[in-house]
Amino acid sequence: MKKAYVVGTCDTKFEELKFVADLIRQSGVEALLVDVGTKPHDHPVDIAGREVAACHPSNPSFLDTVKERGEAVGAMGEALAAFLPGRGDLGGVVGLGGSGGTSIVTSGMRTLPLGTPKIMVSTMASGNVAPYVGPNDIAMMYSVTDVAGINRVSRVVLANAANALAGMVKGTVPAGEDRPLLGMTMFGVTTPCVDMVRHALESEFDCLVFHATGAGGQSFEKLVDSGMMKCAIDVTTTEVCDHLMGGVLSAGEDRLGAFARTRIPYVGSVGALDMVNFGAMETVPEKYKNRKLYVHNPQVTLMRTTPEENTLMGEWIGKKLNAMTGPVRFLLPLKGVSMIDAPGQAFSWPEADEALFAALERTVEQTGTRRLVKLPLHVNDPEFAAALVENFREINP
């Protein structure tokens, strides 16, 4: 059986970390106490902070030179992120901490494959945990009280975390169908297309549909990077709009990067590149107040992208496609990129779409394996969905 790693700053949280490690051992799972503190102490640990720090990719001696706490916390997070993936005996990780400890431990957790048990007991877990969790399967448990001693509240919370991780490490995942994973991206305004593609392929593939909400795109590509998903139909690249124009659903600068790194076959399109997402109408930035806005619901306001913005996006995506050395098919629906980008609909603007398509044609370096496919269709036309499936089969024999 693999081991449970109990991770935290032993200079300040040793009592609590040892409590968790001892409970895990009592359950029959071997536990290693891993120190990620940045100050010296005399507590007995299994893996010392200096051993973790020595894995830092550029400054393995930072504990001797860094004076500022914030800088030390950041460096230890980078070191843990390099340390954990190389541990062949790692069966799961549980961490304890406040804001600093949570930052360090989850930096390491985020580098581990999906499916590796990860529990973070944190004072920060009742707020916005997106910066700590990202697109990963990290279970955040609110500590209720500060992680400062064993008391009638912390005893229960920490024991639950210990028992949960022990169960995860000892437990097994039931066998399922062995169909290959196929990832797809969808937004409400591209749902008809993605549903048709899914229905066409679901008898052969285990189809995973990701909502293109920022975290959705990150999770999609996390599975690609992990090696669990080896084929994809990325219909809805709308997160690029939010990344470049400051919307609320950005997947970050690395969107599309996993396909360059892994070289898996990539089929993509321009779904919902006509819109940037904001919250309620009053949250739209002042500089965009005079733009074409559409109230999707009381909590979501969409902004139509302009020809200039579409040119920027076409060039950005084109460069990303050029970095992909595996087979690439990128399909352009010339009659509209979303449900509301169609004749008579709120975001119909053919000139803006044409700017996007033209920028892609100028930027993409087409080869025998990397092709743009222009079709006189709307993204939600049945014929466009069929074309996605056809191109997918062509490069996924």
Q: What pLDDT is attached to residue 17?
A: 97
Q: What pLDDT is attached to residue 210?
A: 96
In the chain, CATH 3.40.50.12020 covers: 3-170
Average pLDDT estimate for 242-260: 96
Average pLDDT estimate for 285-309: 94
Q: What pLDDT is attached to residue 58?
A: 95
Sheet holding 139-142, edge to edge: 31-35, 3-8, 90-97, 118-122, 139-142
Average pLDDT estimate for 34-51: 95
State the pLDDT confidence band at 178, using cuts at 50, 70 and 90. confident
Average pLDDT estimate for 335-363: 97
Q: Quick check: 30 pLDDT over 90?
A: yes
Q: Quick check: 177 pLDDT over 80?
A: no
Domain 181-395 falls in which CATH fold? Rossmann fold (3.40.50)
Dump pLDDT digits (tens) for 47-73. 999 999 999 999 999 999 988 888 999
Domain 3-170 falls in which CATH fold? Rossmann fold (3.40.50)
State the pLDDT confidence band at 135, using cuts at 50, 70 and 90. confident
Provide the 3-class DSSP secondary structure of residue 278. Answer: strand
Cα-based torsion angle of the residue sequence 231, 181, 91, 62 in order, rounded to the nearest 10 degrees: 30
Dump pLDDT digits (tens) for 227-248. 989 999 999 999 999 999 999 9
Cα–Cα distance for residue pair 73/106, rounded to 1 Å? 12
State the pLDDT confidence band at 173, using cuts at 50, 70 and 90. confident
Closest CA to 249 of 334, 188, 315: 188
Q: What pLDDT is attached to residue 233?
A: 98
* Tokens found for residue 199: 């229905």
Backbone phi and psi for residue 284, each to the nearest 5 degrees, phi listed first: -65, 130
Q: Quick check: 1 pLDDT over 90?
A: no
Cα–Cα distance for residue pair 211/217, rounded to 1 Å? 7
State the pLDDT confidence band at 148, using cuts at 50, 70 and 90. confident
Ranges of beta strands (E only) in 292-333 are 293-297, 300-304, 328-333
Beta-bridge mates of residue 35: 8
CB-CB contact of 20 with 96 (8 Å):
yes
Percent of the chain predicted with pLDDT > 70: 100
Dump pLDDT digits (tens) for 323-333. 999 999 999 99
In the chain, CATH 3.40.50.12030 covers: 181-395
